[in-house]
Structure 1
Amino acid sequence: MELLRHILLILHFIGLASLLGGFLVQTKAIAAGKGTIVTSMFHGALTQLVTGIALVGVIQMAALGDIDNTKIGVKLLVLIVITALVIYFRKKTSVPSWALWSIGALTVANIVIAVLWR
């Protein structure tokens, strides 16, 4: 189970990199008013969602550590908002800058929650 947890954690980080990297690639286009949701943002958000839920399940099932359910609930809520924004705007040719900046800010907020919330 420990190996499965490590694999899921690596995939979770890959999803984070894809989501945040996709946003960062769009920052120049956002400034020009032509930002879009790139495919990597969509796949990153879904990867984060699936692997995050799987990580919590594996850790609780195998008793690999203690889970702060409040922290996980907050992170899940933030990720659901990110995913909803990505899915809603992914087929649009031009995305409002507030939506893209919200996706980027919420992604960074989730990182901060993961690292600093003890």
Structure 2
Amino acid sequence: MSADTVKVNVEFGGGTELLLAPPHEKKHKLTLPRTDAAGNDTNVTFLIEYIRKNLLQEREELFVDGDSVRPGILVLINNGDWELEGEGDYVLQDGDEVVFISTLHGG
């Protein structure tokens, strides 16, 4: 494992996986740089931007809102609500699991 990368597991559910390129895989193992271009530690905000640029295929407005996720998407970091971890400021660690679940459903 390289000291200049961080490996995280990312999972999509509740329909968020349908925004990804086919075959709409729910689980992804990502290797990200440990720091961004400005030298800041890679955090969940960086991950959201990475997902926007590299994984989303369509209707990114259903996933992102500015530099965060849109309201109605639950984010879990290691099975805990990301609000308890500092939301987008949470610095990613090797082996972290980040789950994005849409809580919005039609009816």
Normalising to structure 2: TM-score of the pair? 0.28
Which one has more relative contact order, counting CA pairs under 8 Å at least 6 apart? 2
Give the structure with the higher percent strand: 2
Give the structure with the higher percent helix: 1
